[in-house]
C-alpha cells in the first residue's frame, strides 16, 4: 500500500487511481446473459455482481476476505451541547467493540468479515469548528493516512464505519457546505436529541459553515470533519487506488465519502450504498451521489452496521454470477 505525507501526494495517488477492468466487466455481463434464469430475474443482484467483477478484475469474482473497519474520534463541537451523550461515550464504546459486545461485532461475524477498530487521538478532540477549522492540514493528513493504513493487503470487500459523539453534526455541516440549502435540511436527531437540541444543531451547522466558507472536498473535510471521518475517507481512497469494492455505511460515512466525490471525479465509482438510514438527510446525500441503497431498514446506529449487513447481499450477488451454471453447462434450452 502506498504512503503519503502531504495532501498534494494524496491527491496525486487519487489522480492516478485505476478504473474498473473493462475486460472482466464485459465478460461478466456476457456470462450473466447465459445463466440459467431469465434476463433480469435476479434484479439488482445482477448489477451488483457485474459491478463487483469489474472492480475485482475477475469475470468469476469471489469474496474471501471482507473487512469492516470502525474508526473512532472525538469532536470539539460537543462543547456546544449538540449530542444527547457525553464525549466519554466514544472511548467506552471503543472498549465495547474491542470486547465484542457491540452490534457491529455480531454483524461482522455473521457476514464472515474481519473487524478492526482504530481509536484516533481520543484524548485530543478536534477544534470547535464554529471558531475555525476543526483540523490542521497535518492532522487531516495523519487521519487520512491512518485510514489508508488500516486496509488489509488481502481485503476484497471493504466496509468502513465510525464512532464519535457529535459526529452527526459534523456530517451535517459537511453536507451543508458541499450542497447548500438550509442547515435544517441536513441535521437529524443523531443519538436522540430533543426538538431544542435539533434547533441547536442547525445553528451550530450554520455557524460552522459561515466560519469555514469553503466548498472544496478535502478542505471541507479538514474544516468541518473529524479524525474518524477523515480516516474513513483515507480507507475509501486506498480502496479506490487498490481497486477494492466498498460498501458505504450510513449518514456519517456517506457525508465523509461525499468530500472525496467532490474532490475527485469518479472518486466513489468503486462504492455501493449499503443502506439508507433513518437520518432523513441520508437519502438526499445518496441522491446527490447517484447511489441507490441496497437496504432500507430504518437503522441509524452507525458503526458500519448497515454496510456490514449488506455484505451478505453482495456475497449472494457474486455467488450467483460465479456459481450458477450457464444454459449450455446445465443442458437447458435457453429459448
Catalytic, 303? Answer yes
Identify the CA nearest to 305 among candidates 246, 248, 228.
248
The two counts, helices (H) then strands (E), for the chain are: 14, 5
In angstroms, the CA 300 to CA 302 distance is 6
- The answer to whether the Cα torsion of 206, 208, 212, 216 is positive or negative is negative
Q: Confirm if 3 and 145 have CB atoms less than 8 A apart.
A: yes
Among residues 46, 265, 303, 329, the one annotated as catalytic is 303
Q: Confirm if 275 and 309 have CB atoms less than 8 A apart.
A: yes
Nearest 5 degrees, angle CA 237-CA 271-CA 3?
Answer: 15
In this structure, the number of other CB atoms found within 10 A of the CB of residue 28 comes to 25
Ordered DSSP codes for 142-154: HHHHHHHHTS-TT
The alpha-carbon radius of gyration of the chain (Å, integer) is 20
Q: Strand 114-119 to strand 246-248: parallel, antiparallel, or no bridges (unpaired)? A: unpaired
Residues taking part in catalysis? 303
Amino acid at each position: 500500500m502506498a504512503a503519503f505525507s502531504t495532501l498534494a501526494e494524496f491527491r496525486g495517488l487519487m489522480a492516478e487511481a485505476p478504473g474498473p477492468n473493462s475486460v472482466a466487466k464485459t465478460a461478466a455481463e456476457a456470462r450473466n446473459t447465459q445463466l440459467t434464469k431469465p434476463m433480469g430475474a435476479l434484479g439488482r443482484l445482477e448489477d451488483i455482481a457485474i459491478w463487483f467483477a469489474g472492480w475485482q478484475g475477475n469475470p468469476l469474482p469471489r469474496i474471501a476476505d471482507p473487512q469492516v473497519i470502525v474508526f473512532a474520534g472525538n469532536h470539539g463541537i460537543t462543547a456546544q451541547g449538540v449530542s444527547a451523550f457525553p464525549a466519554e461515550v466514544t472511548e467506552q464504546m471503543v472498549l465495547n467493540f474491542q470486547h465484542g459486545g457491540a452490534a457491529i461485532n455480531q454483524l461482522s461475524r455473521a457476514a464472515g468479515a474481519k473487524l478492526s477498530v482504530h481509536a484516533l487521538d481520543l484524548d485530543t478532540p478536534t477544534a470547535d469548528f464554529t471558531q475555525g477549522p476543526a483540523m490542521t492540514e497535518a492532522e487531516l493528513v495523519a487521519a487520512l493516512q491512518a485510514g489508508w493504513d488500516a486496509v488489509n493487503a488481502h481485503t476484497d470487500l471493504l466496509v468502513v464505519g465510525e464512532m464519535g459523539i457529535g459526529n452527526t453534526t459534523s456530517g451535517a455541516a459537511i453536507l451543508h457546505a458541499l450542497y447548500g440549502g438550509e442547515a435544517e435540511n441536513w441535521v437529524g436527531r443523531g443519538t436522540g436529541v430533543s426538538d431544542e437540541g435539533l434547533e441547536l444543531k442547525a445553528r451550530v451547522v450554520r455557524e460552522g459553515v459561515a466560519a469555514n466558507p469553503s466548498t472544496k472536498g478535502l478542505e471541507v473535510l479538514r474544516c468541518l470533519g473529524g479524525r474518524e471521518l477523515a480516516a474513513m475517507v483515507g480507507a475509501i481512497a486506498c480502496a479506490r487506488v487498490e481497486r477494492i469494492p466498498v460498501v458505504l455505511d450510513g449518514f456519517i460515512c456517506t457525508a465523509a465519502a461525499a468530500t472525496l466525490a467532490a474532490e475527485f471525479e469518479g472518486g466513489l465509482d468503486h462504492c455501493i450504498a449499503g443502506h439508507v438510514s433513518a437520518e432523513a438527510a441520508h437519502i438526499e446525500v445518496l441522491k446527490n451521489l447517484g447511489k441507490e441503497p441496497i437496504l432500507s431498514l430504518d437503522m441509524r446506529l452507525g458503526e458500519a452496521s448497515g454496510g456490514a449487513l449488506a455484505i451478505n447481499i453482495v456475497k449472494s450477488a457474486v455467488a450467483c454470477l460465479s456459481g450458477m451454471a450457464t444454459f449450455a453447462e446445465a443442458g437447458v434450452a435457453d429459448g
